[in-house]
Amino acid sequence: MKPIVQVSLDLTDIKEAMEMAHTAMRAGVDWLEAGTPFILAEGLHGVRALRKEFPHIPVVADLKTMDGGYLEAQMMAKAGATHVVVMARAHPETIKVVVQAGKDYGITVMGDNLGCEDMVDGARVLEDLGCDMIIHHIGYDERRGIAARGEVAPNPLDQLKAVVDAVGIPVQAVGGLSLEQAIACPSYGAPLVVIGAPLAIDADSFSKGAGNVEEVLRKICEKVHAYGDIPITPRVR
């Protein structure tokens, strides 16, 4: 699979999000994500606005579905999303109906293992239940809470290779990654690279002296796309 760069629009102002989306497209980004804060602020209107503005670009709706799975996936698909996100900690029946909605509406289902006691097993379960892709995710509150106690917070790269090896579908890593770490994800076998808009906007070590956000994103895209095809090995069951 060719590596993909996805920009997460974790912004609550639609005008700002649209400006960031246009910047991302000019820089060579492949997918746009309607991040959870954006969906909370703008709802289906925000997803529709992205679809109207970018009719041929994949749009990930990060609703983090926990219940009412079929309806939520259906609503996002009708609004123009091409990908929806369901949580591993949801009831298996919720994951199943989101997968069914994915089939019915021709959208991709991404399963998110945030909060799983066993992150690797959580990824396997998501695949077993029919998800098309895995989001290996260390949560914001988890990282901050652990760090506040003076402990070392987990990083998605800690178990990324184990998750990649455990499943036979594409994986992305999310949660507290620096830009350099995100760019390195394909070297772990994870072809889906996510860059949070706030991370790209707030200068990181990668972007120091690199110029504006568009230039930073362009350099990220060049580095990620340069990996070439990332093999996805079907899981032996």
Q: What confidence tens digit (pLDDT) does each residue in 1-33 have?
A: 999 999 999 999 999 999 999 999 999 999 999
Q: What is the distance between the alpha carbons of residues 213 and 16, in angstroms, rounded to a whole number? A: 13
Question: 50: closest CA among 65, 33, 37?
Answer: 33
Q: What local confidence, expressed as pLDDT, does residue 193 receive?
A: 97
Helix locations, 54-184, DSSP H: 69-79, 92-105, 119-128, 140-148, 157-166, 179-184
Residues of the chain with pLDDT under 50: 203-210
| pTM, two decimal places | 0.93
Q: What local confidence, expressed as pLDDT, does residue 213 receive?
A: 87
* Residue 3, Cβ density class (10 Å: 0-12 exposed, 13-18 middle, ≥19 buried): buried
Q: What local confidence, expressed as pLDDT, does residue 197 receive?
A: 72
DSSP 192: E
The CATH classification number of 4-225 equals 3.20.20.70
Q: What local confidence, expressed as pLDDT, does residue 202 receive?
A: 52
Question: What residues does each domain of the chain span?
Answer: 4-225
Token representation of residue 26: 């000019």
Q: What local confidence, expressed as pLDDT, does residue 184 receive?
A: 97
Q: What local confidence, expressed as pLDDT, does residue 235 receive?
A: 83
Token representation of residue 211: 């110029």
